[in-house]
């Protein structure tokens, strides 16, 4: 078995269980070498603290938005019931699907757990997490915009009747 002193944490655990790591990842007592940066062995980078903070902020914001959306949708539903008029399809979709808002915190929680658990990433993984957070943010903003339109559309329609 290879004598290893400083190998990436995951490889040292495997080495203790009887797995012999490849020669290019072994650091022996006599030679210090770093893993080569090749397509098959991408260079690992440490966790980005800004990305970690942004992930947890996105989780808190999406949780707050989902809570607020469910509360406000219930209040709008009681107001619309007092109108007695037929509601537009988009408004009905948002009234009936108000629990779907909880998808956003679930996705943010998944990303936050992934970011928090792993101390090392490849650059590609870090870029994918960044793009995933950006896509989640854009989706939430678009959904909020459409939901405002859907909730106020019956009020605008009542203003044009007459």
| pLDDT of the residue at 82 | 84
Looking at the fold, whether 68 and 123 belong to one and the same domain comes out as yes
Higher pLDDT, 43 or 10: 43
| pLDDT of the residue at 59 | 95
Return the HEC string of the chain.
CCCCCCCCHHHHHHHHCCCCCCHHHCCCCCCCCCCCCECCECCEEECCHHHHHHHHHHHHHHHHHHHHHHHHHHHHHHHHHHHCCCCCHHHHHHHHCHHHHHHHHHHHHHHHHHHHHCCEEEHHHHHHHHHHHHHHHHHHHHHHHHHHHHHHHHHHHHHHCC
pLDDT in tens, 42-93: 678 888 889 999 999 999 999 999 999 999 888 888 888 887 778 888 989 9
Q: How many structural domains does the chain have? A: 2
Domain hosting residue 18, numbered range? 1-38
pLDDT in tens, 94-143: 988 889 999 999 999 999 999 899 888 888 888 999 999 999 999 999 99
137-162 burial string, b = 16+ CB within 10 Å, else e?
A: beebeebeeebeebbebbeeeeeeee
Half-sphere exposure of 45 (CA within 13 A, CB side): 11
| pLDDT of the residue at 130 | 92
Looking at the fold, whether 94 and 17 belong to one and the same domain comes out as no
Q: Is the dihedral of CA 134, 136, 139, 143 positive or negative?
A: negative
* pLDDT, mean of residues 28-42: 49
Looking at the fold, whether 76 and 113 belong to one and the same domain comes out as yes
Q: Output the pTM of the full model.
A: 0.66
Looking at the fold, whether 82 and 136 belong to one and the same domain comes out as yes
Higher pLDDT, 125 or 162: 125
């Amino acid at each position: 078995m290879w004598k290893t002193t400083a190998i990436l944490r995951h490889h040292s655990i495997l080495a203790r269980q009887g797995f012999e790591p490849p020669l290019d990842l072994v650091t022996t007592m006599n030679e210090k070498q770093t893993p080569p940066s090749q397509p098959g062995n991408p260079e690992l980078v440490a966790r980005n603290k800004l990305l970690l903070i942004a992930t947890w902020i996105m989780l808190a914001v999406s949780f707050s938005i989902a809570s607020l959306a469910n509360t406000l949708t219930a209040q709008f539903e009681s107001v619309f019931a007092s109108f007695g008029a037929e509601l537009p399809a988009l408004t009905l979709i948002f009234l009936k699907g108000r629990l779907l808002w909880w998808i956003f915190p679930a996705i943010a929680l998944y990303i936050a757990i992934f970011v928090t658990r792993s101390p090392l990433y490849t650059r590609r993984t870090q870029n994918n997490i960044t793009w995933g957070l950006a896509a989640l943010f854009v989706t939430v903003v678009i959904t909020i915009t459409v939901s405002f339109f859907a909730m106020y559309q019956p009020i605008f329609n009542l203003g044009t009747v007459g």
